[in-house]
Amino acid sequence: MDSKSEMNGGVKSVKKCEESEENKLHRVLSVFLNNVRINNDVYLEMLITHLSGKNKNVEDCTKFIKSPKILEWIERAVDQWATKGLSDHHIVGFTLRLLALYIEEPANFAVVKDKQLLDR
C-alpha cells in the first residue's frame, strides 16, 4: 500500500491509498494467464459465484462483470490459447463461465459477437 502525506490544519496526517477491488480482481485474473496449474477449482468456483451475485448483493458483485476489462482479459486468454495452447482445464472452464456471465447482458453479447470471440 502506498501512503500519502497531507497537511491538515498544520498537522501532518498519513492517508493510505488502497487498491480498488476491481484492480485486485484484474491482478488475480492476470496471474491466471501465467500458465498456472490449479489442483482444486474450489476458489475459482467461489469467485464465479461471487461475481454472479448469487451469494451477496447482486449489484455490488456484478459491477465487476460489466467492466470492459473483463472482456479484454477474456480476449487475452483466448488469444494466448490460440498461440500457446490451452491453459489448465480449470482456468479454461473458469474463463468460459466468466464469459457466460459477461454475455448475459444483451449489449455485451453483441460486442462479443462483433469481435467474433465465440468463433475462435
- Give the pLDDT of residue 65: 81
- For residue 24, give the C-alpha cell: 485486485
Residue 3 has pLDDT above 50, yes or no: no
Are the C-beta atoms of residues 51 and 65 closer than 8 Å to each other?
yes
Residue 7 has pLDDT above 60, yes or no: no
Q: What are phi and psi of 43, to 5 degrees?
A: -70, -35
Which residue has 449489449 as its cell numbers? 107
What value does the mean pLDDT take over residues 81-87?
86
Q: What is the pTM of this model?
A: 0.75
Residue 49 has pLDDT above 90, yes or no: no
Residue 48 has pLDDT above 70, yes or no: yes
- Give the pLDDT of residue 114: 92
Alpha-carbon span 30 to 24, nearest angstrom: 10
What value does the mean pLDDT take over residues 37-65?
80
Helix (H) or strand (E) holding 101: helix 89-102
What value does the mean pLDDT take over residues 67-79?
90
DSSP single-letter state for residue 120: -
Residue 70: other Cβ atoms inside 10 A: 21
- Give the pLDDT of residue 61: 64
Residue 83's closest CA among 50, 46, 35? 35
- Give the pLDDT of residue 119: 82
> What percent of the chain is modeled with pLDDT above 90?
26
